[in-house]
Amino acid sequence: MVEFPHCSHAGYFLAMHYLVLRLHPQLEFPYNQVMKQRFYKPWIRLLSCTLLLLLCFALLAGCSDAPVESNEEVLTDQGTAVSPAMTASTETIPPDRVSDIEAKSIDTLLSGQAFAILFVNVGKADAAILRFGETTVLIDTGSAESAPQLLAGLNTLGVTKIDAVFITHSHSDHLGGLTALSANYDIPMVYSPFYSEADKNGVGKIVKRLEKLHLPHKELQAGDVVPVTGDVSFTVLGPLSLNEADDNDNSLVLRFSCSGKTFLFTGDMQFAEEQAIIDSDATLKSDVLKVGNHGNPDATGDDFGTLVAPDFAVISTDTTVDTDSANPRVYAALPNATIKVTQDFSIGVLLTLDESDAILLQNPANESVASALVVQALDVPSQTITLTNSGIAPADLSGMILFSVQSDATLRFPEGTQLGAGESLVIGASEDFSFKGEDKPLNKKKTNTVLLFDRFGTLVSQLEQ
């Protein structure tokens, strides 16, 4: 018998009707001969054509959307074989795993806190600021365009100096903010993975950027231990080898303990590197997980999630840009974790410990106030930008951030910077304030947009010309 798998009942009925007419055993001649003899009758011809058209439409409607079950491997559009369990889920995130946290003053949240981690809201990028008393380190720096938010995060934590920066891999949404960071803070050391993507000349892309910025640098391999404070050291779990296909799987993976709690940072690690680390028998169990690759479905495999088994997890992303991130499959792989996504927090997800060293996830309030400061003028020939205080009282520029969109030039005004009522301030290479490392913040051929943010990353003024 001829089969029509996965068709609807209507499509199957009409298909079988066609077969009965064509193959009925009591007919003395084939169906096509009968129709040939009878087609001289116009109404029969019309009826036959109508039935055939209905048959075609029914078959199309009945079969086009039918699910296909298969145990075969599924190929992604890059041609990489993955198991069906690793493909993106069509499920939604259960409502009971999504909850808001009331925003509170940062002074209240940090009162008496020596240890804090701020997973900064840098859009679809990735950056975390870790404060251990007087010691501050960063794991990734976001993108170039998210630099104002990164600097606002440092302002929020009251950071005045940086002790080290760890770059997990070469992609711009992790490395891109380093230029703005180094223009506004001294960075005594940058750590990055030994195994990393290189340019066509064989020079590591991270190394090339660090040499351009004249930053001290050390490459790390699995098994290395980096002292951060007298009590805290970062242990390097990966990468264990070079993945030439995808630098995500060359991500620096770091694990450390603080006050009896363990933390695992995974960069953009995907399935391949996860499996390599699992095979190395490294200890993965951690209380807090910075979820790999922005919570996309090609990372945080079920086995990895089971071994880490975190109580808390943070995903850094903007799902309006990276629509597959913060994916339901990843939530399912971390069934017992409280998961927070940076896009849901104005400044970022703040992690602290209470008096009993229990983990707290907090929402620092954006405490921006109205400002009379405006970006008054852009002068391309002189490469200067003019700010004006249009108010009737002096304006405090402490920690405010000036950003040129075309060049990504970023300036954080030092603490104590004031501008009198009605006064103007010119920023440029020969002025009191300038963009370090960028003598051409304005583009000579394209439209320029300059943004002024307050110390918490709220846009105060912008000028496009």
pLDDT of the residue at 82: 37
Question: pLDDT per residue over 420-465, tens digit each?
Answer: 999 999 999 989 999 999 999 999 999 999 999 999 999 999 999 9
- Quote the CA–CA distance of 131 and 133 in Å, as a whole number: 6
**Residue of higher predicted confidence among 79 and 375:** 375
pLDDT of the residue at 48: 52
Token pair belonging to 74: 């599924």
- Quote the CA–CA distance of 448 and 436 in Å, as a whole number: 19
27 pLDDT above the threshold of 90: no
Give Cβ neighbours of residue 175 (< 8 Å, ≥ 6 apart): 140, 141, 167, 169, 205, 206, 209
Question: pLDDT per residue over 126-143, tens digit each?
Answer: 999 999 999 999 999 999
Average pLDDT over residues 358-368: 94
CATH architecture for residues 373-464: Sandwich (2.60)
Question: pLDDT per residue over 334-345, tens digit each?
Answer: 999 999 999 999
Helices (H) and strands (E) in the chain, counts: 11, 27
Question: pLDDT per residue over 140-188, tens digit each?
Answer: 999 999 999 999 999 999 999 999 999 999 999 999 999 999 999 999 9
Q: How far is CA 88 from CA 317, 321, 325, in A?
A: 17, 17, 10
pLDDT of the residue at 60: 47
| Alpha-carbon dihedral sign for residues 235, 184, 406, 205 | negative
> Which residues partner with 238 through β-bridges?
253
**Distance in angstroms between the alpha carbons of the first and the last residue of the chain:** 74
361 pLDDT above the threshold of 50: yes
Question: pLDDT per residue over 216-272, tens digit each?
Answer: 999 999 999 999 999 999 999 999 999 999 999 999 999 999 999 999 999 999 999
- Quote the CA–CA distance of 121 and 350 in Å, as a whole number: 10
- Quote the CA–CA distance of 450 and 403 in Å, as a whole number: 6
pLDDT of the residue at 100: 87
Confidence of residue 94 (pLDDT cuts 50, 70, 90): confident
pLDDT of the residue at 360: 96
Q: What is the DSSP code string of 71-111?
A: -S-EE-TT--EE-GGGSPP-----GGG-----EE-HHHHHT
Q: By CB neighbour count within 10 A (0-12 exposed, 13-18 middle, 19+ buried), where does 309 fall? A: middle
pLDDT of the residue at 112: 84
Whole-number average pLDDT of the chain: 85
Question: Residue holding tokens 């990895």?
Answer: 304
| Alpha-carbon dihedral sign for residues 185, 189, 193, 199 | positive
pLDDT of the residue at 19: 38
Considering only 61-75, 276-290, 323-337, 378-392, which range has the smallest mean pLDDT? 61-75
- Quote the CA–CA distance of 411 and 390 in Å, as a whole number: 21
- Quote the CA–CA distance of 174 and 126 in Å, as a whole number: 6
CATH architecture for residues 92-364: 4-Layer Sandwich (3.60)
pLDDT of the residue at 97: 81
β-strands 81-82, 312-315 pairing? unpaired
| Alpha-carbon dihedral sign for residues 381, 382, 385, 391 | negative
Token pair belonging to 26: 């009591």
401 pLDDT above the threshold of 80: yes
Confidence of residue 29 (pLDDT cuts 50, 70, 90): very low
In this structure, what DSSP letter does residue 433 have? B
- Quote the CA–CA distance of 78 and 76 in Å, as a whole number: 5
Which helix H or strand E contains 227, and what residues bound it? strand 225-227
Domain ranges in the chain are: 9-63, 92-364, 373-464
Confidence of residue 364 (pLDDT cuts 50, 70, 90): very high
Query: pTM for this structure?
Result: 0.81
- Quote the CA–CA distance of 138 and 181 in Å, as a whole number: 10
Tell me if 388 sits within 8 A of 423, measured CB to CB.
yes
- Quote the CA–CA distance of 69 and 91 in Å, as a whole number: 17
pLDDT of the residue at 77: 31
